Structure 1
Amino acid sequence: KIAVVGVHGWFPMKLVRSVMGEPTGTSEKFCEQMSMAAKYYFESEHGVKIHDNSITMIPLQGEGKVEERVDKLFNSLVNNPAWMSALISADVILWATHSQGTPVSTLLLRRLLDRELVNVQRQAVSLLAMAGICYGPFPTLKGSLIVKYFEADAARELFEFMDSNSTISQKFADSLGYILRRGIKTTLIGSMQDQVVPLYSAIMTGTSHPNILRGMYIDSHIYSQDDFLISIISFALRLRNVGLSDHGLLTHISEVLAGNLYSLEGGHSTIYEELDVYVIAVRHLFETAPFDLITPMEAKIDPFQSKVRLNPFYLPWAMRGIFDDTRISNDPILSQELKNLKVLYDSWSPASAKLREIKFRLEPLKAKL
């Protein structure tokens, strides 16, 4: 039996929706996508056909600030006998969320674990967080007219996640550490051209734990296997996924990845349309070793404070840290990838001013590259 839970992100108020259109990232959407991903995985990898009656979809809905939503969604769940029965009896729980739904889901999962409504001793549990606002939105959006004049407290609260010392950030970090310690496989997928959430926020660069898998969604029309920027970000993500440091590279390269907030370009809302994003979370759950069920491991959560503009000199130092890291240079696979990056860097001809600036910053490291 599989229970699939979907938790939507923050929705703009009706006045803004009338201009921007109704949101498509609904809880029902996430449930449907995750259900398809589970069926695809079991049939393609194991030749097992999962029937619809083996899956119960639990689309949780409710708007507001983070803790308000946690209360609403919890009450909605426990007051639905069919959902509660499916959740408690499930062998597998697949949870998908987006944007503001990430801290909401994390706090809600902790409550369910605390009350033994989810039991990791007999249930396999996965949390997929797509473009999660974990360290807040892009700091430059704080002055947005939408946020300042049209939106309610729920939108303004998102910027409190920029400071790890804020009350809501501390509650989020505490709950995140708890669910990781309890063995929840957590898949963090950021979007390369997100208009709202920086990559460092979506993948929680300041948090380390074996139960975390990180990835990046790239719109197909901008993807190129030979693109230096895509390759270096993918390499840094791979470092984090094998337990090595990226020396701050992902944080300091995030600011050049922002999509256009006022155009259809950008992946904040296209990330949840891609089935492979959900399949990654299913694979993470079933194809990696279970951690923490016998000896719990604490998550390492570093303090974080988002800045409007990062120090441009940190980027070359981050790259230098990678090249001087013997754990990387002594690994035959990772060291070969570094050599491949040199070839891509030499042939890289970025078109935008922001990307040309990145190439300029990395120029002193050409000798190492």
Structure 2
Amino acid sequence: MVQETTALEIINLGQGLQVPNQGFGSMSLSGPYGSADDAQSLRTANHAIDAGVTFVDTANIYGEGHNEKLLAQVLKTRRDEVTLATKAGIVRPKNPGDPRANGEPAFIKKCLDESLQRLGVDEVDLYYYHRVDSRVPIEETVGAYADLVQAGKIRFIGLSEVTSNELRRAHAVHPIAAIQMEYSILSRDIERWLLPTASELGVGLVPYASLGRGFFTGAVDSVEQLEAKDFRRNFPRFTDENIGTNLTLRSRIYEVAAREGITPAQLSLAWVYEQAREFNVAVSPIPGTRFAAHVDENVAAASLRLSAQSLEELNTLADQVAGERQQDIYFVSKGREELQMAQA
């Protein structure tokens, strides 16, 4: 392991969007990984900004709007310091079988107005299309995002959980600044097609869940540890049938981290930075945490370089993981990517 510097670097994520090379994912401040205390959450968010983690990521569905309202208390005095990202497109189905995404232009625009009100701001720096609605051509949805750029309500457009084909089609309508995708040592399906496309188009990568939703850090050893409302209970890799295999893989991550003299969280993030260099993609991962000490631990990872031996060992693990990364792979990019490539 080589440590080069301790400060975050300001990068061009894509299309001129300047952000630090690590962001702050705020979703965990609103309870999906267990109970959260608002006062502590606000201290952590402010600490992140103080530490230079000024790229702050939220979404309208996090806590059903709670997350944006919480961040509004920070933005009230620190808006000029923050590059702010939020999202729209996911809906909570009322009945089984109802659509789980909505890409209708009117819906996207309505969601932004509601987000702006909750956040207490006039403009969002980066606005993501959170999940692709298969009923609406992506060109129509991105056209609505382009209208919002023209109206001065958003500065840059992002996409989350897209395929390489969808990225190309969207980018042809309006330049896309960033894609937000799950990406970690054990979740690497975007490498085959999407990362090369992003590199070609100059689109940055904002990885989420790079710490395995807390699994790599030792926060979870079994599903029984999780609170009843913790949404990790629904993820295949945490189920009883899969977690034993994945704990074995985690032990190997721990071994590599110990040899490098860093924590498993730092190793996981350092691996992401190494892969981004390999694929020539600008990257700003957004690890989320409720604790200020973890912010500092994560920031230190941006200055690390891993040995060739460690990279070689880590790069063998994804092929051995048990379970899909999310419960509905067709709601995320993997299933659609495979289908679209088979039809090409």
TM-score normalised by L of structure 1: 0.35
Instruction: Using CA pairs under 8 Å that are at least 6 residues apart, name the structure with larger relative contact order, 1 or 2.
Output: 2
Which has the larger Rg?
1
